[in-house]
Chain A
Amino acid sequence: MKGDEVTREQTPAKPRGLRAVGHGIDVARDWWEHAKIWQRYLVYIALVVGALILPAPAIGTFMSPGSDWTTVLVYPIGTYILLAVGLNVVVGQAGLLDLGFVAFFAIGGYSVAYYGTQYGWTYWATVAFGIILAAVSGVILGAPTLRLRGDYLAIVTLGFGEIVRITANNTDEIGGARGITGIPHPPPVFGMKFVLDPAPYYYLIVAAIVLVIIFSVRLQKSRVGRAWAAIREDEDAAELMGVPTFKFKLLAFAIGAMIGGLAGGIYAGKAVFIEPNTFPFILSATILAAVVLGGSGNLPGVILGAFLIGWLPERFREFADFRILVFGGVLVLMMALRPEGLLPSRRRKAELHEGTGGMGTMGAEVPGPDADVSTTEAAK
């Protein structure tokens, strides 16, 4: 990407272990930076074709022996990817910490469910309306809170996620704790009927993901994306250079929320039934973990992170009871070994190294005199 050259580091001579993986990624990235247009399109086509044949039973028997692979691809994997791309706009691009992203997922889902069952609106109208509602609620949440610093924002968004869930739980008009059943399926598209077979939903979600990715990449390379990067790296400096930071942060919130709403709409169309507990805090945490684990700010990384976090628990269903335990342990381990994520972008990596990039480093990061040995070892 343009602009990344500035922050390029010297590649160390002989990388080993985890660093070797990082080195391979750097090579791939260098190739991609200088790849010709036709080479890039070949890769795009290969990726889309790969996504389309992914539900094949041959792949499924390995990937998910315990449950139906296509279903797993729709939820959790596809939905997580969609949500992660949306959250990446907020966390990765604008550097704002959102712990209540599930609220927008819920708003999208509930508007499809409510307007579909109560008013009989067509599916696509409800999805569009859900996206608008999510964006509006993103603005409503953001307007009073985006002037706050990172950590306050984190707790306020967490609170917002809980407010939405509890409100849904306490409001009988939208089903209360019992939720809403009998949500209409999407109408047929190109002869594909959306009933019980998960395949059409999978193609729908792939289409949505492709759309959202294009949208996100275009944004990133536009004036808006540059403004977000500036805010993420140093908000005060951005403001001084004439970037209307508040407006752009609000925009990031709204766009992230729209993508969350879209994911909710698609989910509800497939699920037939939603209830407040479909949208717990743990889902927000999971999506955030996917974004950070993959490499916040870098789309391929984020998608990889969401895929892994959606897929691994399904793959290891036989350890059903221990899944969350292992998930928690892996998060701690990953952050200790590779805090910048699996596939960080160069720019993000450099930012994280400097301690800029949204949240900065922890306080008291200065190693004490007794810690010198371990830090120098880590630097080798």
Chain B
Amino acid sequence: MLDDFANQFLPSTVGGLVNGSIYALIALGYTMVYGVLRLINFAHSEIFMIGTFASLTVLLAIAPSAPFTGIALVGVLVLLIVVSAVVSGASAVVLEAVAYRPLRKRGATRLAALISAIGASLFLQELFALVVIDWLIDKPGRNQASAPRFVARDTVFEVGNVAVRLDQVIVVVAAVVVMVALDRLVNKTRIGRGIRATAQDPEAAVLMGVSIDNIVRVTFMLGGAMAGVAGALYVMEIENTGYMIGFVLGIKAFTAAVLGGIGNLRGALMGGVVLGLIENWGAIFLGSQWKDVIAFTVLVVVLMFRPTGILGESLQKARA
């Protein structure tokens, strides 16, 4: 058993970091929306799913020339990430306008908003399964759709005796770059200040001239774009997707957000990585079929001792 652990520790760590980066990117959307609206945006997982299909569609169109290297690879990556981010961001804005804004205007409860979110989530899943997937890639919507490989699985460097592959490096680097950009945006720009002000005290923010509706829209757009980036990276790394793909990843990402301290951007990053690592390490002992159970058990244990997550809740505080 311990031998197993020693042998598999490093590969699991690499895998955990890769998964964790994707969790963290999705978690950002949950955490931002929660920070501003105090709402679990249950349909966020579907925004991620839409992002994977945006990437897949583009990828299938340019697939014949795959795999790419050098400048072409960078170009394709940027293209996929941008397309997915735009599509997902736009979907998130539409989602907010249709499913949440009418409730917000009526001062509905968060429970009602959660039900609306669940409804929107089901609606989007089924819409893709029945219509959109067939239309986009000409395959039955309920099947898994596999993506062509466009990043060669070349070893970039070795840690100990473990090869770290190019695609894994890309996922982690891209995730970190995007997250740093978001962090700067929220902490340094005017719109970021608006987001933080709204999270802290919406009433005072209105009095100071912040347009809440705009802030909410921007928050959904940014969170959606992050999910889109995650979708692009997911398609590259896992090489398949499907209409149900969002569910498990969504729960994991939300768990990551809660683990790090919901409403806290850096907490989402930390929660994602911690979750990815613990899940993979635990799987060495128990087998990978217990991964999800490990993840949720860790969540319960952490919340018992730190009820507001590892880093605490604070979109409003300057750390955001």
Interface residues of A (CB under 8 A from B): 91, 97, 144-145, 147-152, 154-156, 158-160, 162-163, 166-167, 169-170, 281-282, 285, 288-289, 292-293, 296, 321-322, 324-325, 327-332, 335-336, 339-340, 352-353, 355, 357-371, 374-375, 378
Contact = CB atoms under 8 A, between A and B. Distances in A.
B105 A378 contact: yes
Contact of B109 (A327, A360, A366, A375): A360
Nearest to B203: A366
B108 A369 contact: no
A167 B289 CA distance: 9
A292 B98 CA distance: 19
A322 B122 CA distance: 11
A162 B292 contact: yes
Interface in B225-278: 247, 251, 254-255, 258, 262
B297 interface: yes
B113 A170 contact: no
What DSSP secondary structure best describes chain B's contact surface? helix
A324 B142 CA distance: 14
B293 A289 contact: no
B178 interface: no
A332 B212 contact: no
Nearest to B286: A170
Nearest to A145: B300
Contacts of B299: 155-156, 159
B189 to A, nearest CB: 19
Given A152-B262, A155-B258, A167-B293, 7 more contacts: A166-B293, A328-B118, A328-B125, A335-B116, A362-B109, A362-B110, A371-B213
What size tier do the contact residues of chain B reach?
35 or more
A365 B111 contact: no
Contacts of B39: 362-363
Nearest to A332: B119
A324 B118 contact: no
Given A152-B258, A331-B116, A370-B211, A324 B290 contact: no
A162 B249 CA distance: 13
Given A163-B296, A363-B202, A292 B105 contact: no
Contacts of B112: 292, 335, 339-340
B37 interface: yes
Q: Which are the 10 A-B pairs with shortest beta-carbon distances?
A: A331-B119, A328-B123, A159-B296, A328-B122, A339-B108, A339-B112, A325-B126, A363-B38, A335-B116, A336-B102
B103 interface: yes
Contacts of B18: none
Interface in B295-320: 295-297, 299-300, 303-304, 307
Given A145-B300, A158-B251, A329-B123, A289 B211 contact: no
Given A144-B304, A159-B299, A328-B126, A368 B119 contact: no
A328 B107 contact: no
Contacts of A330: 119
Interface string B84-121: 00000000000000111011111111111111101111
A285 B119 CA distance: 9
Nearest to A289: B115
B60 interface: no
B216 interface: yes
B59 interface: no
A144, A151, A281, A328 pick with most chain B CB within 10 angstroms: A328
Interface of B: 34, 36-40, 98-100, 102-116, 118-127, 130, 198-199, 202-203, 206, 210-216, 247, 251, 254-255, 258, 262, 289-290, 292-293, 295-297, 299-300, 303-304, 307
B213 A156 contact: no
Contacts of B127: 325
Given A366-B206, A369-B206, A156 B292 contact: no
Nearest to B219: A364
30 contacts: A144-B300, A145-B304, A152-B307, A158-B251, A159-B295, A159-B296, A162-B293, A166-B293, A170-B290, A281-B247, A282-B122, A285-B122, A322-B126, A325-B123, A325-B126, A328-B120, A331-B116, A335-B103, A335-B116, A336-B106, A339-B108, A353-B107, A357-B109, A359-B109, A362-B108, A362-B110, A363-B36, A364-B36, A366-B203, A368-B206
B118 A288 contact: yes
Contact of A366 (B40, B108, B212, B251): B212
Given A328-B119, A328-B123, A339 B202 contact: no
Contacts of B118: 285, 288-289, 328, 331
Given A151-B262, A152-B258, A336-B102, A365 B107 contact: yes
A362 to B, nearest CB: 5
Contacts of A292: 111-112, 115
Nearest to A348: B109
A288 to B, nearest CB: 7
Contacts of A289: 115, 118-119
Contacts of A363: 36-39, 198-199, 202
A360 B112 CA distance: 10
Nearest to A322: B130
B30 to A, nearest CB: 10
A368 B216 CA distance: 11
Contact of A364 (B106, B114, B212, B297): B212
A285 B38 CA distance: 19
B111 A97 contact: yes
A362 B255 contact: no
B60 to A, nearest CB: 25
Contacts of B34: 151
Given A159-B251, A329-B123, A375-B105, A293 B303 contact: no
Contact of B292 (A154, A166, A352): A166
Contacts of A360: 38, 109-110
A13 B120 CA distance: 36
Nearest to A358: B111
Contacts of A362: 37-39, 100, 103-104, 108-110, 113
Contacts of B262: 151-152
B130 A329 contact: no
Contacts of B198: 363-364
